[in-house]
Chain A
Amino acid sequence: MEKIHFSRKQLGIPYALFLALFVVIPMLLILFYAFTATVDGKITFSFANFLNFFTSTAKLSTLLMSFTIAIISTAICLLIAYPIAYILARSRLKKKNVLLMLFILPMWINFVLRITALRELLDLIGLLGSQNYLNVIIGMVYDFLPFMILPLYTTLEKLDNSYLEAASDLGGNKLTVFTKVTFPLSMPGVVSGITMVFMPSMTNYVVSDTLSNFNITILGKLIDEYFTTYDNWHMGSMISIILLFIIFLSMLFSGGFKENKQETRGANLW
């Protein structure tokens, strides 16, 4: 009986196929649609969509709006998630996995359902219908908090205790240890948490539609409108490309592409 043997290359084939079919080709299609226009039933090369986006006040204000909402939501997420992740990772609790599970538990329920429930809750408090911006931010934070907690937790948990001990030994007080050692070492978790929260906050229009009663339009909604109701795939693709570019830029600036160090390996997966 001969052993069935796969080489590494062969094992990569399924994913390569997947990558080509569902990532590369669609991306090329989006690019194609973004830089073309349909005139009298014929598709021609065109920069019109690009120019249109940057000259339309409605689109630019939508972009600004989504950007603002995403930044505020991400910042709040980070402020809430960091202490929690820190406490969880540093605690010697035996059942801390159970605690962690409690934070991730909401993710197991369909998020449309959760947001609908949140809508009723906000109505009960009296915010619904009057505080649209606040509601959307509450919704985004509620929805994406686990995505911030998880990467932070994994990085902080893997943090080598000897670094901290060394820092205290050398005379650092608790604050110095945190600002000079713990926080810089947890940066990869922070960065991946930010990218995990920031990007969907700009596009998750179920949250903005449901909690603001369709009063707030964010970029994701605009893309959807262009594909479904306005019947203009070219503009929809262009907005997607611009969104992609913004995310790419934010990754670049936050150092998301830097080569991973030993202790941060895996944290960026989240």
Chain B
Amino acid sequence: MKHRFASCRPLRLLADLLALFLAVPFLFCLAGCDSKQETVLRVYNWEDYISEPGDEEGEDEYVDLIAKFEEENPGIRVEYSTFGTNENMYNELKINPGGYDLVCPSDYMIMKMIEENMCEPFTDDFLQNSNYAAYASPYIRELFELNGWTKYSVAYMWGTMGYVYNPETVKAEDLTSWAGIWNDAYSGKSTIKDSVRDSYFLGVAYVYRDELEKLAEEYNVRNLSDENYAEYNAKVTQIMNRTDEETLEKVKDSLIDLKKYLYGFEVDSGKQDMVTGKISINFAWSGDAVYTMDEAEPVYNEDTGKLEADGVYLNYAIPEECSNIWFDGWVMPKGANVELAQKFIDFLSTPENAVANMNYIGYTSAIAGDAVFEEMIDWYDESYVDESAGPSSPNGGRGFDEEGHPLQAYDLNYFFQGTGSYDDYCIYVSEESLSRQIFAQYPTEEVITRSAIMQHFDNATTTAVNEMWEEVKGLPIPVWAYIVIAVIAAICIFVLLSFLYKGRRKEYKPKKGYRILKKGF
């Protein structure tokens, strides 16, 4: 008896230890739950997509929005997690239904989720009385209404796609068309996205560039209030979302053709490669374009005006045929805590918090309002500051650029009008700035009229497009690879044969007597 007990002891010890390990976190949890009654808001967002305090000590220029929200709403704790691609997010929602209160997918994924009935609708009260209702840009709200997403989704960030380029090495007029990078002059100098949807868009724009140009001439739409705007935009959207077999084949051929002009593909490295000058043209999202242009600019000392770091002023161009307008928006998956989620969006939708986000992320918020506009004035307006001027014309456009030309008005009324107290939302910039950061941050009304939203493809189409992309990325194998493979195969066969031959020569049949002898032992 004693003996058995002894041999069991270590096992029991192990079991005790194990139990302790399991119990400890549970106890901690109990203690935590006891002390305060907390409700948890589970937010699932893109990486680096909300203002957070900087990593380094003393870097307090960024607002910690999550902490601020928790402070303003005692008793609510935000459980914040991030994802890297829309597809990852979608899978996570499928595996873990009801696991999140608020997620932030891109446009096409929102369409897919609405179609699959995965979202909770927003309450009418929220849609009419929240900060989002008050401050979201009327243009964005109209766009959502037009597409029927208003009930299920609210916009967070938005932007366009275009080319970032170095005007010192690239002629601006070459990039008035998407076809500009199918050009020997820029061979090995440009990159496009290593992402199916974005590059497919580029391919379609290239394939149908003549048709799009004709359409633009025919309608000649310049602003959003034009009566033909809706019709024109619908036609552009239809063309840009073609996925029939013929289109796929043409896009594949044109992208394979493009490969020989490219430096390569990229997802993130393009920004840095533009700054270091490895490439001259980068097919980019507007937010990345802003970041790239900021990074590349020469740095001057604020006090002395002395040059501190050399740099180059990059430009952003949106070709004339069309562009892609994209956005990321909040949706509440089925089973979400609607009240809490709406509270969080309401909090993010104040212009002050939108400014904090824009500061940190670098993308353009869907929220307008005076605070955002004033921040933009602070960032971009080049006219003299005049304290005595009224609110209707903050800086009034007084002043000249370096060459003595008067400043130009950059009209943002389509975005800001109706969300604040100014009469005229114009920012005054020099002529060369018209194609820099501000153009990437807020495209002109004219660009908006020819910008299409890329729709969500159904499963069969997605597979076909993915296969097209796979062939673009995989083919073609260079001739030397085939030669190398042939040589290696020949060597392998030779070695194998020689082994076999050797093996046969060695393998002699034992004499009968030997076997008998062995048996006899």
Q: Which residues of A contact B (CB under 8 A)?
A: 2, 4-6, 10, 56-59, 61-62, 64-65, 67-68, 71-72, 123, 128-130, 132-133, 209-210, 212-215, 217, 222, 225, 228-232
Interface residues on B, range: 35 or more
A contact residues around B10 at 8 Å (CB): 4-6, 10
Are A2 and B85 closer than 8 Å at their CB atoms? no
Q: How far is the CA of A215 from the CA of B258 in the complex (A)?
A: 12
B481 sits at the interface (CB 8 A): yes
B contact residues around A62 at 8 Å (CB): 474
Are B475 and A212 closer than 8 Å at their CB atoms? no
Name the one of A212, A222, A228 contacting B88, with C-beta atoms under 8 angstroms: A228
Q: List 13 A-B contacts (CB under 8 A).
A: A5-B7, A5-B10, A56-B467, A59-B474, A68-B488, A129-B188, A133-B478, A214-B194, A214-B265, A217-B473, A228-B87, A230-B462, A231-B90
Are A128 and B195 closer than 8 Å at their CB atoms? no
B466 sits at the interface (CB 8 A): yes
A contact residues around B195 at 8 Å (CB): 229
Known: A5-B7, A228-B84. A68 touches B470 (CB 8 A): no
Q: How far is the CA of A58 from the CA of B467 in the complex (A)?
A: 8
B contact residues around A71 at 8 Å (CB): 488
Are B474 and A230 closer than 8 Å at their CB atoms? no
Q: How far is the CA of A65 from the CA of B475 in the complex (A)?
A: 10
B59-93 interface with A by 8 A CB criterion:
84-85, 87-88, 90-91
Shortest 8 CB-CB distances between A and B: which pairs?
Answer: A213-B264, A214-B265, A58-B474, A231-B87, A58-B470, A58-B471, A214-B194, A217-B473
Interface residues as binary, B436-458 with A (CB distance below 8 Å gives 1, 0 otherwise): 00000000000000000000000
Beyond A68-B488, A215-B264, 14 additional contacts (C-beta under 8 Å) are A61-B475, A61-B476, A67-B485, A129-B264, A129-B278, A214-B194, A214-B264, A215-B259, A217-B473, A225-B470, A229-B87, A229-B195, A230-B462, A231-B87
Q: B194, B196, B467 — which one has the most chain A CB atoms within 10 A of its CB?
A: B194
B contact residues around A222 at 8 Å (CB): 470
Interface residues as binary, B170-187 with A (CB distance below 8 Å gives 1, 0 otherwise): 000000000000000000
B467-496 interface with A by 8 A CB criterion:
467, 470-471, 473-478, 481, 484-485, 488
B contact residues around A132 at 8 Å (CB): 264
**Smallest beta-carbon distance B459→chain A, Å:** 9
Are A58 and B264 closer than 8 Å at their CB atoms? no
Are B278 and A61 closer than 8 Å at their CB atoms? no
A contact residues around B84 at 8 Å (CB): 228
Q: How far is the CA of A64 from the CA of B484 in the complex (A)?
A: 11
B contact residues around A217 at 8 Å (CB): 473-474
Q: How far is the CA of A155 from the CA of B463 in the complex (A)?
A: 49
Q: How far is the CA of A71 from the CA of B91 in the complex (A)?
A: 36
Name the one of A56, A65, A215, A225 contacting B477, with C-beta atoms under 8 angstroms: A65
B292 sits at the interface (CB 8 A): no
B contact residues around A67 at 8 Å (CB): 485
Q: How far is the CA of A65 from the CA of B481 in the complex (A)?
A: 8
Are B87 and A130 closer than 8 Å at their CB atoms? no
**Smallest beta-carbon distance A62→chain B, Å:** 5
Residue of A nearest to B88 (CB): A228
A contact residues around B462 at 8 Å (CB): 230
Q: How far is the CA of A52 from the CA of B259 in the complex (A)?
A: 25
Residue of A nearest to B91 (CB): A231
Are A4 and B87 closer than 8 Å at their CB atoms? no
Q: How far is the CA of A148 from the CA of B90 in the complex (A)?
A: 41
B263 sits at the interface (CB 8 A): yes
B contact residues around A65 at 8 Å (CB): 474, 477, 481
Residue of B nearest to A3 (CB): B6
Residue of B nearest to A233 (CB): B91
Residue of B nearest to A72 (CB): B484
B342 sits at the interface (CB 8 A): no
Q: How far is the CA of A212 from the CA of B191 in the complex (A)?
A: 12
Are A214 and B266 closer than 8 Å at their CB atoms? yes
Q: How far is the CA of A215 from the CA of B488 in the complex (A)?
A: 24
Name the one of B196, B259, B481 contacting A68, with C-beta atoms under 8 angstroms: B481
